[in-house]
Amino acid sequence: MKGIITVVLKQDILDPQGRAVMSSLQGLGFGEVQDVRIGKSIEIELDGLSVDEADSRLRRMCESILVNPVIEDYQIEIVED
């Protein structure tokens, strides 16, 4: 089973990396781009857990080291093999 955690900056936190990518895209002619936000996608392969256990363990991993709750939000998706 695999957990996919998407970590994004909270909406009111400035994202300079996203800004830089937005400027580059607009400069390349992609004028339809209104905003860019860049986050992390963390794929974690898990062994021997039920879906409910996996969800609760992944949440604890996020709270321990994967996410900074002051500036980041996260969501968890679980994909069964």
Using CB atoms within 10 A of its CB, is residue 66 exposed (0-12), middle (13-18) or buried (19+)?
middle
Residue with Cβ nearer a copy of itself (13 or 40): 40
Question: In the structure encoding, which two tokens stand for residue 16, read together?
Answer: 């300079």
Closest distance of CB 47 from a copy of itself, Å? 5
Closest distance of CB 21 from a copy of itself, Å? 7
Q: How far is CA 32 from CA 26, 47, 63, 69, in A?
A: 8, 43, 36, 32
- Give the x/- contact pattern for a copy of itself in 18-47, rule: CB under 8 A: ---x--xx--x-x-xxxxxxxxxxxxxxxx
Closest distance of CB 57 from a copy of itself, Å? 7
CB atoms within 10 A of CB 45: 8
Question: Which residues of the shown chain bind a copy of itself in the complex (CB under 8 A)?
Answer: 6-8, 21, 24-25, 28, 30, 32-49, 57, 60-61, 64-66
